[in-house]
Chain A
Amino acid sequence: MSALTLELKNPPRWRIDMRSLTPHQLATKTNKEIAALPLYYGNRKIQVGDLFKISGRDKNNLQILSDSPKLDYIGAENTLGNITVEGMAGAYAGTEMKAGTLVIIGDAGDYTAAGLVHGNITIHGNTGNFLGAALVGERQGMRGGNIIVKGNAGDRVADRQRRGTIIIHGNCGDYCAARMIAGSVAVLGKAGNNAGYNMKRGSLLFKQKPASIPVTFNHNGEIDLPFIRLFFQHLQTIDKDLPLLSKKINLHRYLGDLACGGLGEILVMSK
């Protein structure tokens, strides 16, 4: 049985709210019923069939063919199944997702995986700002699950993150893991200014030293801890494509943010 496929008929003029099109909501519906479902298109409601060509029957595997960055909330609050976006996703992809997988082959917009509760999200392209962060008005960012970004991420990655793991193969912007409550972030490229600003707990692993670390972090030394091996092993378990991280490396460890208790850490693989 082939995956349920939604293919954009034409590039949309307005933004589309995709949050009602998730495997757990479509599980019992026929393709005809799906085509008749209401969908917010800009500030008005239209039917799914007006925008998408629908094919395939496997509701557990949803495929979205999109060449537009205007498809927002793809996979938001999803609780089961797999969603694959062949192309670009808009903002808020995978927000508050509770289970399942979301794979975006192209780029994703701002607030991708914001408030993620559980499940795995992989973005093969780049993401915007606030990856895995807290939604506006929320006190916590992602609370579990794993996010892998093969490209680059914008500013404020993991803002207020509570739990879970983010791996970024490329670069990330400023204020990475700012206000982090706990959790793990690994950045294999470059990181911008003020990484870890106001973080309470959590672990940030950088292959290169970020552009700046707040002055409220203290250098803890160049050390080799068993935890680092455990951390590497965890990262490689969730991301099979991760380049092999050496297991005998001394990392520079910075403790902070001392303005917020100082139980967080920034681990830098090379100066």
Chain B
Amino acid sequence: MKINGVEIEDTFAEAFGMTATRILITAINEKWAMQAATTMTGFATSVIGCGVEAGIGRALTAKETPDGRPGVTVLLFGMSEKDLKKQLENRLGQCVLTCPTTAVFSDIESEKKIPLGKNLRFFGDGFQISKKFGDKRYWRIPVMDGEFICEENTSRVSAVGGGNFLVLAETQQQALAACETAIEAMHILPNIILPFPGGIVRSGSKVGSKYKTLMASSNEAYCPTLRGLTKSQLTPDIGAVMEIVIDGLTEDEVAESMRVGINAACSLGPENGIKKITAGNYGGKLGQYHFHLREIMA
């Protein structure tokens, strides 16, 4: 299968079941809402080392938020409820509570509740005020710039993490340009995040290592500098490989984002050095979701 002259390998991306939440951060203006969201989603590229994978969803206008101020949604994905709860509370306490003028609300509904301001309220040292509007309880925590408003709970939902595709190009610059194009196209989709820096991973990993303490290590089959030394997947014309990893709230949303991203990357074509699109998997034994590239692109 070829799209715009770029080969789509007959393989699949292997993704995992995760649990996710979406929250809404509002502030006096979009700049400060975005600042809180950016701070909160820092160091959240992979559950392996960060505990949670997180990213910014979209910006909301003042008319779309509960407190009539501009806001930004943040999606967080964890491997378990326990991890998600811990990371959510830590990041909320250190990155959003501390950020000037912010307030936090749940932005997703399900029967599975996890604490948002439920424990954070104790920062108020007894001066915190509970307010219940309809079915929602809010906490008003006194802080030095006024009040920090935080909804008591948010919800968590089942989600999909680890959808991916790899762009194989002649040069590093060309791989980067294709990935940047793909990411720009994927950013308009709701309910997905691209947790790695700028949405791109250059250090794709395989499971395990020769070193016993490591659970993941460099994916040598796609490292151009190891061609000729290991069982490489790279033909001689490939000079660089970059990967885009996607977490989404549903399987369909991950598949759609892969389709949009691959189409955008392929739009540059072989004349710009884009040779092949493939995907990362573990033989289909570890992840419960398989995204077959040719089915997605059909």
User: Which residue numbers of A lie inside 8 Å of B, CB to CB?
Assistant: 163, 165, 182, 184, 201, 203, 223, 225-227, 229-234, 237-238, 247, 263
Contact = CB atoms under 8 A, between A and B. Distances in A.
A201 B127 CA distance: 11
Contacts of B147: 225-227
Contacts of A229: 67-69
B275 interface: no
10 contacts: A226-B147, A227-B67, A229-B67, A229-B68, A229-B69, A230-B103, A230-B131, A231-B133, A232-B68, A233-B67
Contacts, number: 50
A226 B129 contact: no
Of the listed residues B66, B101, B131, B140, the one surrounded by the most CB atoms of chain A closer than 10 A to its CB is B131
Contacts of A163: 132
A230 B149 CA distance: 9
Interface of B: 26, 66-69, 101, 103, 127, 129-134, 138, 140, 146-147, 149
Contact of A233 (B66, B101, B146): B66
Contacts of B67: 226-227, 229-230, 233
Contacts of A237: 134
B133 to A, nearest CB: 4
Contacts of A247: 68
Top-7 shortest CB links A-B? A234-B133, A229-B68, A230-B67, A229-B67, A226-B67, A226-B103, A247-B68
Contacts of B69: 226, 229
Nearest to A164: B132
A230 B66 contact: yes
A203 B132 CA distance: 11
B133 A230 contact: yes
B134 A226 contact: no
Nearest to B136: A234
A206 B66 CA distance: 22
Contacts of A223: 146
A127 B210 CA distance: 80
Nearest to B133: A234
B131 A203 contact: yes
A8 to B, nearest CB: 36
B103 A263 contact: no
A27 B2 CA distance: 66
A117 to B, nearest CB: 14
A234 B103 contact: no
Given A226-B26, A229-B68, A230-B149, A201 B129 contact: yes
Contacts of A263: 127, 129
A229 B67 CA distance: 5
B40 to A, nearest CB: 18
B69 to A, nearest CB: 7
Contacts of A184: 131, 133
A233 B68 contact: yes
B138 A230 contact: yes
Given A234-B134, A263-B129, A227 B68 contact: no
Contacts of A230: 66-68, 103, 131, 133, 138, 149
Given A230-B133, A263-B127, 12 more contacts: A182-B130, A182-B132, A203-B131, A225-B146, A226-B146, A226-B147, A227-B131, A227-B149, A230-B103, A230-B138, A230-B149, A238-B134
Contacts of B132: 163, 182
B91 to A, nearest CB: 20
A201 B130 CA distance: 9
Nearest to A230: B67
Contacts of A165: 133
